[in-house]
Amino acid sequence: MKASYALRRLLSNNYSLQCQTKRTFYRSFLRQTVPLTSVRYPNLKRGGYSALTDKDLSVFEKLIPGRVLTGSSELDGYNTDWLKTCRGSSQVVLRPKTTEEVSAILKYCNERKLAVVPQGGNTGLVGGSVPVFDEIVVSTQLMNQIISLDEISGTLVCEAGCILGNLSDHVAESNLIMPLDLGAKGSCHIGGNLATNAGGLRLLRYGSLHGSVLGLEAVLASGEVVDCLSTLRKDNTGYDVKQLFIGSEGTLGLITKASILCPQKPNAVNVAFLGCDSFERVLDIFKESKMKLGEILSAFEFLDADAIAVARDNLKLSIPIDDSFPFYVLIESSGSDGTHDEEKMNGFLEDMMNRGYVIDGTVASEPAKIQYIWSVRERIAEGLMHDGYCYKYDVSIPLSHYYGLVEAVRERTQGNTTRVIGYGHVGDSNLHLNATSPEYSQTTMDLLEPFLYDWVAKHRGSISAEHGLGFKKRDFIYHSKSESAVRTMNQMKQVLDPNGILNPYKLLPTVVR
């Protein structure tokens, strides 16, 4: 029993172990190395917000007794983002438990003109979830109740602070799955996912959150609670207000509850991990997979050789197949009939082998193996952190130019980076381009930006496919959005948050044209 338990710990609980290492790793870096955002960006001016006083603290203590954090060591984690590229100097973290408490907090902050950062699991990748200066952090940590799950319609209603992985486990007991899945599922909050319109690994199959979120409840800066917590799929009564909050990155309101449509859990899942010799082949395989796998295709991911090297060298993961291919493809199929799916998958793979599109590969239908293969893909982001500083880009590019960007960046930054890797959701035209160097270097940064954004704009891509704009990318918004669109956004912001207290210095550009 003991030995078997050890094995299970070693293999199946890989994920929780992984999270632990992630966390310890992250903590050890916090204090010494991350410079304050206000120091790294000296041109940035603090907005005209009030400063926190002792009186404010006592008011908060009255509103949410015992859930006001002030110790600086305790605040470190809330002030620094996961990528350790941004650090704020907030003096206080508030941890409300109910919508009413959130409402009271925001009402007070709005009256006092105190700036606020809503924070979920703090796994954002664009510096959107941490304070830039001394904004008050309002964490959804304690708002973690699952309110209801209707097994027939598959509607889940829960509070914003529920951890995505926990929700996944919860709905799995009723044979359902969450419509989104991402590498950070062990710590990210559903409220944060909604606020950033997180994409992830299942988008190809289940679409974006704009479709799968049926309703939500959010608190405006004024403290007013906007109740759109519908559980209906069809509801054309007026403007669909909830859509405003999805992807607003906490600048329009703080999401407190959500109702989400959960698809049926597929009975049969197959994962193939393939090696091929050129990016053209990756595209060929994608085209064929849409045709041959059709409705059961649920994910199509790719990794290049440098990404595989991160998993192999930094994470010590063994690669399921020969690790010397220039490109790797991960295909997942999900369906209702195992025999049917397997036959389809095997037929497709056989065809790909015979045509020489795939040189080598493996396929798994056992959950444990599937989990392992996925971990090679999902843990790349974590593995990159071992290199030091990571310049992270998440772009959408039409497939015809997709990998060209990685090649262009690699050539341009040669000698200034440890590595430049490309991986991502080919199925959604979404590329994750990452460069690393031992520490932050302005020279490297100047080589990357704005070159990379210009390249993307030239090829009519989006400079942020799923990570959002947050703090780091907000001034590049015009690369992907027209001036009129940005002006409309700004008007909406003025209406819903006239004092601009919600997540300032994020999403909207410094100067609206």
Partner 1 sequence: MFRYLFMLAQETTFRSRSLDKMKSILDNCGFSYLWSFQNTSPNIKSIIKQRLEDQFTQSWSGKCNFIDDLSITIKIKVVVIRAPINSPGSKVKMSALRVLVGCKRVIDYAVKIRVKPDKTGVVTDGVKHSMNPFDEIAIEEAVRLKEKKIASEVIAVSCGPKQCQETLRTALAMGADRAIHVNIDPKDYENLQPIHVSKFLAKIAQDEKADIVIVGKQAIDDDCNQTGQMTAALLDWPQATFASKVEKNNGDLTVIREIDGGLETIKVKLPAVLTADLRLNEPRYATLPNIMKAKKKPMASKTPADLGVDVTSRLEIVSVEDPPVREAGQKVESVEDLVTKLKDAGLV
* Interface positions with partner 1 (CB under 8 A): 1, 3-4, 6-8, 10-12, 172, 267, 273-274, 318, 320-321, 346, 349-350, 353, 358, 360-371
- Residue entry with tokens 């008050």: 136
- Residue entry with tokens 């350790």: 84
Kindly tell me which of 11 and 51 has the beta carbon lying closer to partner 1. Answer: 11
Token pair in block for residue 342: 């397997």
Minimal distance in Å, beta carbon 323 to partner 1? 12
Minimal distance in Å, beta carbon 362 to partner 1? 4
For 192, the enclosing helix (H) or strand (E) is: helix 190-195
Kindly tell me which of 128 and 266 has the beta carbon lying closer to partner 1. Answer: 266
- For residue 497, the SS3 value is coil
Which residues are bridge partners to 333 per DSSP?
Answer: 270, 297
Minimal distance in Å, beta carbon 413 to partner 1? 34
The answer to whether 379 and 317 have CB atoms below 8 angstroms apart is: yes
- Round to whole Å and give the CA distance between 288 and 276: 14
- Round to whole Å and give the CA distance between 481 and 470: 15
Minimal distance in Å, beta carbon 267 to partner 1? 7
Kindly tell me which of 194 and 349 has the beta carbon lying closer to partner 1. Answer: 349
Kindly tell me which of 274 and 477 has the beta carbon lying closer to partner 1. Answer: 274
Kindly tell me which of 346 and 414 has the beta carbon lying closer to partner 1. Answer: 346
In 308-372 the beta strands, taken as DSSP E runs, fall at 327-335, 360-364
Token pair in block for residue 404: 């060209």
Cis, peptide link before residue 367, omega less than 30° from 0: no
The answer to whether 263 and 323 have CB atoms below 8 angstroms apart is: no
Task: List CB contacts of 466: < 8 A, sequence separation 6 or more.
Answer: 197, 198, 199, 200, 203, 394, 430
Kindly tell me which of 370 and 512 has the beta carbon lying closer to partner 1. Answer: 370
Kindly tell me which of 366 and 483 has the beta carbon lying closer to partner 1. Answer: 366
- For residue 363, the SS3 value is strand
Minimal distance in Å, beta carbon 353 to partner 1? 6
Minimal distance in Å, beta carbon 296 to partner 1? 17
Kindly tell me which of 207 and 367 has the beta carbon lying closer to partner 1. Answer: 367
Token pair in block for residue 270: 């197959």
In 120-234 the beta strands, taken as DSSP E runs, fall at 136-139, 146-150, 155-159, 213-219, 225-228
The answer to whether 179 and 155 have CB atoms below 8 angstroms apart is: no
DSSP letters spanning 241-278: THHHHTTSTTSS-EEEEEEEEPPBPPSEEEEEEEEES-
The answer to whether 293 and 341 have CB atoms below 8 angstroms apart is: no
Minimal distance in Å, beta carbon 273 to partner 1? 8
DSSP letters spanning 5-36: HHHHHHHTTHHHHHHHHHHHHHHHHHHHH---
- Residue entry with tokens 């710590």: 187
Token pair in block for residue 139: 């964490």
Minimal distance in Å, beta carbon 450 to partner 1? 42
Minimal distance in Å, beta carbon 346 to partner 1? 8
The answer to whether 200 and 182 have CB atoms below 8 angstroms apart is: yes
Kindly tell me which of 357 and 453 has the beta carbon lying closer to partner 1. Answer: 357
Minimal distance in Å, beta carbon 373 to partner 1? 8
Minimal distance in Å, beta carbon 331 to partner 1? 12
Minimal distance in Å, beta carbon 169 to partner 1? 9
Selection from 392, 405, 391 nearest residue 460 by Cα: 405
Kindly tell me which of 224 and 342 has the beta carbon lying closer to partner 1. Answer: 342
Kindly tell me which of 46 and 292 has the beta carbon lying closer to partner 1. Answer: 292
- Round to whole Å and give the CA distance between 324 and 208: 34
For 127, the enclosing helix (H) or strand (E) is: none
DSSP letters spanning 158-190: EETT-BHHHHHHHHHTTTB--S---TTTTT-BH
Kindly tell me which of 295 and 350 has the beta carbon lying closer to partner 1. Answer: 350
Kindly tell me which of 74 and 111 has the beta carbon lying closer to partner 1. Answer: 74
Minimal distance in Å, beta carbon 329 to partner 1? 12
